Structure 1
Amino acid sequence: MYEPNLINLTTRQICAIESAAIHNPKSNIFLVYSNRRYRNKYVREPLLDTLLFYKNVYIRNVNLWSFVNDTPMEKWFKTGKLFESHFITIHLSDFLRLLLLWRYGGTYLDLDTITLKSLESMPHNYAGIQSKDIINQAVLKISSNGDGHKLAEQFLLDYQQKFSAIYWAHNGPSLITRVLKRTCCTDDILKMINNPKCCKDFNVYPRNAFYEINFEELDFFFDEALLDQMLNRTQNSIVLHLWNKFSQHRKMKVGSNVAYDLAAQIHCPRTYAKAGEYF
């Protein structure tokens, strides 16, 4: 018997999409995936139905083999080198986000984020620093023309020229950092902050914008004793990044007085209401 390969999203991933939709009502929010999954209109999926309550949310499937046609990545992709990756899901995500931004422009958000404030009035091109050595691409905006589009092409060329199948971050945060060091008038990441003139109209935000809590500090999301400190540290944050690789196995009981629970109640309320005992 044929079994439908349905879209399978976690509560936290749906929260990421809902929070983006709530805070950016004038923007279209696309969930883009490349595996052959789809919605079955005859099967009720309460969490997914809750998400699609928002009229600016759309789900789209991409056939990578045709999507790369007439792009700088066509020949390289069809060599199959990407599929030699030891971290295929991660490296495919790195690849697809850059290709989407090159084709259409827009803002990319990872599915382990919570949007806290509107992104609609932010500059055309930006990313944020994770540390003094790394600019991350979990939140990345690129314009569809001008210097932004040229930079998107540089990201793609670096991806194929320096692709690594064995290093987890090499084709993601390390790539963004490498290209911006070549593009900007300085190798010092901290000097790029709030200095778009240096980086050809690309804006680099300080750590507190998107990555105030790093992957070694996950207790701030899940420990009630750290709630006040967490609220103080993230009061100027625009997005929270939850570092799914490290946080996905940490359960959060709905109704617990921890920062993640509070953020979910406020920024993805429909998802939170349907979550059940654990979020």
Structure 2
Amino acid sequence: MDSKNGKQILKPLTERGFKVTALAPDLSFLLKETPAEAWLAEMKEGKIDPGEISFAQNLSDLLRIAVLYKYGGIYLDTDFIVLKKLSSLQNTIGAEIMDAKLKNWHRLNSALLIFDKGHPILFKFLEGYAHDFDGNRWGHNSPHLVTRVIKKMGPQEILDYNITILSTFAFYPVDWNKIVEFFHKPSNEAELKRKAASLVQLNMTYSLHLWNKVTSKIKIEEGSIIEQLISDHCILCQHTHSI
């Protein structure tokens, strides 16, 4: 994206006044004086096994934390539909799996993170990444990382760190194993009613994660929930569905 072609891709946004740019990350700069600085040096020297999982994917897990630690702000994966402004949230992470009855979370997710510059929990995430890096286990360096780190903290420490943990409904209202049906148009009256109810619920939350690993090859059908949400909330919407 940090190229002439990338600028062309972003042109429809910049022409509309959005302050958007693409930058190639400088890892050494971003990790300087962080717990991951030594990890990067050892990785370059071949002292750490990068593992079988795409190294770019594992670096993405690290970069989001490093950028937030250095600059603060909002990080989110590209497979989100943002349904409500996130500007009211601060130092926030969302739960992916919760106990519906007890309201206790079992796993957090790092696909959407909102933190202040230099927040101490981000420092802990960087420590955990460098200390426990495993390039062979999917999720170990991202959702499982933030889960491990925060699970080690007591309730009072979480309060002291000024961290807000939102329920699954906030960022991940639809689980990965149920998202596919949202791409298909209703085929009967019962499904139409479920669609209407789902849209009412979804429009009360912050975002919908599309779980791209599951849905990247699925066509968005006209009349589907996803088609409706994109039409209502996206900035540039052309030919979003396929019949």
- Fold match (TM-score > 0.5): yes
Q: Which amino acid in structure 2 is aligned with residue 209 of structure 1?
A: A
Q: Aligned residue pairs: how many?
A: 224
2:230 is aligned, of 264, 270, 274, to 264
Q: Which runs of 4+ in 1 moved over 6 A?
A: none
In the alignment, structure 1 residue 130 sits paired with structure 2 residue 92: no
* Alpha-carbon distance in 2 for matches of 1:169, 1:269: 30
1:120-146 Cα shifts (integer Å, max 9, x gaps): 122x2111111122111111111114x
| Residues 82 and 154 of structure 1, relative CA distance in 2, 3 Å threshold | farther
CA contact (8 A) 2:180 2:215 kept: no
1:151-206 Cα shifts (integer Å, max 9, x gaps): 110000000111111111111111111111112328xxxxxxxx963x63100001
Q: Which amino acid in structure 2 is aligned with residue 210 of structure 1?
A: F
1:258: Cα distance to partner?
Answer: 0.8
* Alpha-carbon distance in 1 for matches of 2:149, 2:240: 43
CA contact (8 A) 1:221 1:230 kept: no
DSSP-derived class of the 1:141 partner: strand
**Structure 1 residue aligned with 2:103:** none
1:82: Cα distance to partner?
Answer: 6.8
1:278: Cα distance to partner?
Answer: 4.3
Q: Unmatched 5+ residue regions in structure 2? A: 99-105
Q: Which amino acid in structure 1 is aligned with residue 175 of structure 2?
A: N
| Percent identity of paired positions between Structure 1 and Structure 2 | 27
| Residues 66 and 144 of structure 1, relative CA distance in 2, 3 Å threshold | closer
| Residues 152 and 160 of structure 1, relative CA distance in 2, 3 Å threshold | same
| Residues 185 and 65 of structure 1, relative CA distance in 2, 3 Å threshold | same
The alignment's TM-score, normalised by the length of structure 1, stands at: 0.73
CA contact (8 A) 2:51 2:134 kept: no
1:185 is aligned, of 139, 155, 166, to 155
**Structure 2 residue aligned with 1:217:** 178
Q: Unmatched 5+ residue regions in structure 1? A: 1-6, 8-36, 187-194
**Structure 2 residue aligned with 1:14:** none
2:20 is aligned, of 38, 57, 71, to 57
* Alpha-carbon distance in 2 for matches of 1:117, 1:104: 23
The alignment's TM-score, normalised by the length of structure 2, stands at: 0.83
Further displaced range: 94-103 or 176-185: 176-185
